[in-house]
Structure 1
């Protein structure tokens, strides 16, 4: 894929394909997080640390000025993504799986609201309906899965809700950075800026810093590869698609994660989970239809 920052009209489908592919890859991350044995923030640190050398090499090949001082948006994206990882991991640990999933998947609502209020990008009514349908599908899946209340439900709920805010700001920041910089440059600098926040969080929370055994280190390496390929594809797609549209499409993640849990861990899919997955996918398709360029809608 050519690493460009423009949004050519004929590249919309390429951006959509990259976005879906990246979301499917990212869906593997929770499985690898289970296997690291390190603390929540520490796991995020190792994810970034293993990804950074790969991104540095790819960034060096992408442009001559790859390591010139970054723009503010790329640094903000890194800080937001670090906070996203910390709050998401702790949300899972402290509240029910259902609550953590539902609250963290409110990202499309937040992205659409910020784009509307701050950037004056008023969404179409059909797109708003698509957002509600997609988020409802994720809610049905999470509610069907249920789970124990968690060690500290209120704190866990707040942490999970904050996750949606941090990821929304991350996507908006990446979308803004991609107006002037290539995807690999944005990924490199955002990853680098996330490292100190993650290691600071791990030390403050007194987490276990090192993974458990070779299997834990292999899982951290896998997370690094997932970050480069999955988030890299999403960052590339954000150069061709609006952040509001992208935030809806990435809701394919819980659907893919549920399928992987069924195939790898024998976590059976109930009828309501299947219904929720179908509703979420319908919302994603509707969002794409509603956000087509004006010429395509007229045709």
Structure 2
């Protein structure tokens, strides 16, 4: 039976859910800063608070989590590396730079598919890669007008590496989705990632327990954000054309930039603002150029 084409009202509803989910995910670097715990510890609490909700969702939609597949296990390892690198990146550089550099993930995914899966990209994609890399490089080497991070080169490098780990996470989730439900994959990736994040926090002797009520609230917010934000994006991206869904990557850095300015006085300098715009334009262009027409992606975007 052919799949029913969504009505105009349903497409507008999906677009609203998509933008809502992207805005929620944009809260992530702010909540990490406010968590009053170590970077890896914040990642542990994010997954720990999300797991009960993900388990309930899995029971409701597919009757329970069953046993984890190798794709779910791989996704859990990759996502824990993603969270660890990104949270440390946020600690050393501005939330805006960390978020923009992390959103180079679509470029990494398509480059991986080209090299290892023999999926040759279009010429437009190569131009988009050059645009995204040029914008990211401009952001990394330029000085902002606000308060600098304690070690911006290290934070930029960690944030850029996060794009690699999240790309591998997306690839594992994409393969896993061919065989099992999103709920089961998200649950098991969290169940695998949480103890790894806890081990990293203990290894680096981080503060594990938030010292304030506000810190606990931020950690709880990270868990809710993980479920609501990722879930909203995954739901909406299955109901919108690729060209529309791809713009989701632009919303998260914008939200992070505004909140970073309001809460932490992190003001972008002119060259950094230009670099951010160029990098995000390259990411959007890469997504438009790299996916077949008429195919809607099913993987959630952003960490």
Regarding TM over 0.5, the answer is: yes
Deviation, 1:177, is 1.5
What are the Cα deviations for residues 73-126 of structure 1, in whole angstroms up to 9, with x where unaligned? 122111111111112222344568788567544433321221112222221111
Distance 1:210 1:295 in 2: 47
- State the partner residue of 2:86: 88
Deviation at 1:175, TM superposition (A): 1.4
Gap runs ≥5 in structure 2: 296-303
Structure 1 alignment gaps of length 5 or more:
1-7
Q: C-alpha displacement at 1:276, in angstroms?
A: 3.6
Q: Given the two structures, how large is their TM-score scaled by the length of structure 2?
A: 0.77
Bigger shift: 232-241 or 36-45? 232-241
Distance (whole Å) between structure 2 residues aligned to residue 80 and residue 19 of structure 1: 24
Structure 1 Cα separation of the partners of residues 294 and 54 of structure 2: 37
After TM superposition, list the pairs within 5 Å mapping 1:181-192 onto structure 2. Answer: 181-192=180-191
Other-structure match for 2:77: 79
Name the CA distance, whole Å, in 2 between partners of 1:114 and 1:45: 28
Kindly indicate whether the alpha-carbon contact (under 8 Å) linking 1:32 and 1:220 is maintained by their aligned counterparts in 2. Answer: yes
Q: Structure 1 residues 139, 263: CA separation in 2 closer, same or farther (over 3 Å shift)?
A: farther
The alpha-carbon deviation at position 55 of structure 1 amounts to 1.0
Give a deviation string over 1:13-43, Cα, whole Å, max 9, x none.
Answer: 7988766543332211111111111111111
Q: Post-superposition shift, 1:199? A: 0.7
Query: Any idea what SS the aligned residue of 2:206 has?
Result: coil
Give 2:22's aligned residue.
23
Q: 1:16 to 1:84 in 2, by over 3 A?
A: farther
Normalised TM-score (structure 1): 0.78
Partner of 1:5: none
How far off is 1:274 after superposition?
Answer: 4.1
Contact kept in structure 1, 2:100 and 2:280, CA below 8 Å: no
For residues 118-173 of structure 1, the C-alpha deviation after alignment (integer angstroms, 9 at most, x for no partner) is 2222211112323433444444455353765745956x565444322211101111
Give the secondary structure class of the aligned counterpart of 1:145. coil
- Secondary structure of 2:40's aligned partner: helix
Aligned partner of 2:258 in structure 1 is 259
Aligned residues: 285
Query: Does the CA contact (< 8 Å) of 1:36 and 1:43 recur in 2?
Result: yes
Matches within 5 A, 1:136-175: 136-142=134-140, 143-145=142-144, 148=148, 150=150, 159-175=158-174
Seen in structure 2, the aligned counterparts of structure 1 residues 269 and 160 have a Cα distance that, compared at 3 Å, is closer
CA contact (8 A) 1:27 1:253 kept: yes
Q: Residue 23 and residue 121 in structure 1: after superposition, are their counterparts in 2 closer, same or farther (change >3 A)?
A: farther
For residue 127 of structure 1, the aligned residue among 121, 125, 128 is: 125
For residues 129 and 106 of structure 2, what CA distance do their matches in structure 1 show? Answer: 6
CA RMSD of aligned residues (A): 3.7
Residue 177 of structure 2 aligns with which residue?
Answer: 178
1:69 counterpart SS class = coil
Aligned CA distance change for structure 1 residues 229 and 92 (closer, same or farther; 3 Å): same
Deviates more, 1:14-23 or 1:228-237: 14-23
1:200 aligns with 2:228: no
